[in-house]
Amino acid sequence: MSAWQIFDNRIIWALLASGLSTQLMKAFASVISERRLNWRRTLEPGGMPSSHAASSATLAALVGLRAGFDSLLFAVCLYIAFVVMYDAAGVRRAVGRQAVLLNKIADSRAIKKRTGGEHLMELLGHTPVEVIAGAAIGVGWALLFHHLI
């Protein structure tokens, strides 16, 4: 058994396709919000669509299609996908909102001097629509790769 066999695992390729394609879509979505193509969005968290939701949905759907939707492995993958999506739309989104408020507070002259003008990243989480869009894209990738496997 060789470590190079990992490259024969089509589920991993599906996960990469799902995650990378959704990250690329963020750059093109920036045209709508920023009126320009922002390639940096491909490396940033948050935004439309959620690549975390896409990847976790791809994994759960492919496992369900391959191992059966009544399998223990599918149940575990589905649970992890829901945790990832809840975290993206709940916890990380709340942290992003707190960062907005903290940055406003830090912009005051007295605090700005102490912090050196450092700002927190504000776009960390996702709206429910961004998560649902990511999950739908992920299931689409799963169906595509399932027919290729």
How do the pLDDT tens digits run along the chain, 149 residues long?
A: 688 888 888 889 999 999 999 999 888 877 787 788 878 777 777 778 888 999 999 999 999 999 999 999 999 999 999 999 988 877 666 666 676 677 677 776 666 656 566 665 656 567 888 899 999 999 999 999 998 76
Q: Put residue 94 in one of left, alpha, beta given phi > 0 → left and psi -120 to 50 → alpha.
A: alpha
**How many distinct structural domains can be found in the chain?**
1
Q: Which domain holds residue 128?
A: 3-148
Residue with tokens 């968290």: 45
Distance of CA 140 to the CA centre of its chain: 15
CA distance 73 to 54: 18
Per the CB < 8 A criterion, the answer to whether 125 and 93 are in contact is yes
Residue 43: its pLDDT value, please?
74
DSSP state of 41: G
Question: In this predicted structure, what is the pLDDT of residue 75?
Answer: 98
